[in-house]
Amino acid sequence: MPSVFIKTYGCQMNERDSETVAAQLVAKGYTLAPSEKTADVILLNTCSVRDFAEKKAIGKMQNLAADVRKNRPDVVLGFMGCMAQSRGRELIDKLPDVDLVLGTQKFHRAAECLDEIISGAREKIVDVAEEENSEAAIREHLLNGSAKTSVSAFVSIMQGCNQRCTFCIVPFTRGGERSRTIPDIVAECRDLVSRGVKEITLLGQIVTSYGKKEKRDAWSMKRETGGASRITHDASPNSPFVQLLDAVHEIDGLDRIRFTSPHPKGYGDDLIDAYARLPKLVESAHLPVQSGSDRVLKLMHRGYTREKFLGIVKKLRRAKPGIGITTDIIVGFPGETETDFEETLSLAREVEFDNAYIFKYSQRRDTPAAEMPDQVPQKIREERNQRLLELVNGIAARKYDAFIGRQVQILVEGPSKKNAARNTGRTRCNRIVLFDGSARHQGQLMDVKITRTGSFTLYGDPAILNL
């Protein structure tokens, strides 16, 4: 059977999609190649969120065509994921060495497409159509793939986004919101826990909107025909997402629950309350703020104000003291003035994020912001990026240093990738901790004392506490 190598660009959802494709191919008898040098099939799972991400994947494919394909003409080359979805056939027209273009609703078709190409039944395949129930097709896991994944696993709960932020290409690459059912998700989580998983991260493009569309559909269906929902909900006043958290929380043997990525408008009181109620829901929240200026937030179509956002942060910190809060921020959005940008700086100072991912605004095709007036010159985007980075990194470093001397609980994931003599674990607030430990610690919850810090890393000493 052939061997496959998958290179992933972009977010955790993309990582998860790649893992499922790899697991499906392994189940069909494929082996996983350690690198592209020896693989019979090379797939690039792509990201479209910024132009740079697309350029990187296209550049990589050009290199593969020039190097690998030249020496081994039978190698199969494919694009999957977001850029495959948004560009489709255009990719093959531009790069004739590409054999396969597989969209975001077609990951589970990878094996049959590759069969057809390898057997010669079809020369090239472009499949970017919509497919009903594709949201429930991301389910296979590669638990033996690496030590880390056997302790901590990602579970895809929904696909797509209906939010329509004016800068964002995701509704075009991932389609509208579609959610799996609670019993289906819980069954997958239970299976993972029975195989040794201790921590589950629930994944989706906008997890806080989980099940909302289905709930609305069910209501209108009930009124019209008396039909039932595809996702069953009781009369709970809580949002479907909080109902899902409750259901996953009941799984015995599961220690920790995380989720990403949420939308700030999804942090209603029911979710804040879930943080206070559910001990397995860890002290960690990613709250993508995007801007500190109300004017820019409105242009972005974010659906909240600066004040509303600050209120959510306050409530979360009250519900879960010590919670780690991270964010995404875009600098140089069209029309962003120096005054708007200074409001973002002041918001970052006020919240003191534990970490912030900063993005220079990138024009994406078909998005409203790409057509807006007053596009900010590249030089100013870069300058603002630099200024904000300095601020948030300074705050983050101070917050890391504050851990020195403190005792924290970590979930041990396994040997560190960079130095196998060290173990790596994560605090509940999602900070990486390195410590000298052995394989027997893997999968354990341990208390360690933080002795020093590195760049976005804590160093711990378990010997002091776990004799």
Binding site residues, ligand 5AD, CB under 6 A: 49-50, 167-168, 288, 290, 328, 330, 359, 361-362, 364
Phi, psi of 155 (to 5 degrees): -125, 125
Q: How far is the CB of 320 from ligand 5AD (least distance, A)?
A: 22
Q: How far is the CB of 81 from ligand 5AD (least distance, A)?
A: 14
C-alpha span between 207 and 40 (Å, rounded): 36
Tokens 């534990």 identify what position? 354
Bond prior to 239 in cis (omega within 30° of 0): no
Cβ closest to ligand 5AD, residue 79 vs residue 359? 359
Pairing state between β 407-415 and 422-427: antiparallel
Cβ closest to ligand 5AD, residue 367 vs residue 427? 367
Q: Provide the 3-class DSSP secondary structure of residue 50.
A: coil
C-alpha span between 435 and 340 (Å, rounded): 43
Cβ closest to ligand 5AD, residue 326 vs residue 442? 326
Q: How far is the CB of 297 from ligand 5AD (least distance, A)?
A: 12
Give the tokens for residue 419. Answer: 């130095």
Cβ closest to ligand 5AD, residue 50 vs residue 320? 50
Instruction: Report the number of secondary-structure helices (H) and strands (E) in the chain.
Output: 16, 19
End-to-end CA distance of the chain: 48
Q: How far is the CB of 393 from ligand 5AD (least distance, A)?
A: 17
Q: How far is the CB of 370 from ligand 5AD (least distance, A)?
A: 8
Dihedral-angle region of residue 46 (phi above 0 means left; psi in -120 to 50 means alpha; beta otherwise): beta
Between the CA of residue 70 and those of 63, 67, 73, 97, 118, what are the distances in Å?
10, 6, 6, 10, 18
Cβ closest to ligand 5AD, residue 30 vs residue 359? 359
Tokens 């994020």 identify what position? 353
- Torsion sign, CA atoms 455, 257, 356, 311: negative
Contact between 323 and 279 under an 8 Å Cβ cutoff? The reply is: no
Cβ closest to ligand 5AD, residue 104 vs residue 290? 290
Q: How far is the CB of 120 from ligand 5AD (least distance, A)?
A: 40
Cβ closest to ligand 5AD, residue 160 vs residue 425? 160
C-alpha span between 462 and 41 (Å, rounded): 43
Residue type, 10: G
Cβ closest to ligand 5AD, residue 375 vs residue 457? 375
Give the tokens for residue 433. Answer: 């901790």
Q: Provide the 3-class DSSP secondary structure of residue 412.
A: strand
Contact between 396 and 381 under an 8 Å Cβ cutoff? The reply is: no
Cβ closest to ligand 5AD, residue 389 vs residue 445? 389
Give the tokens for residue 41. Answer: 């099939």
Q: How far is the CB of 305 from ligand 5AD (least distance, A)?
A: 18
Contact between 88 and 82 under an 8 Å Cβ cutoff? The reply is: no
Cβ closest to ligand 5AD, residue 267 vs residue 361? 361
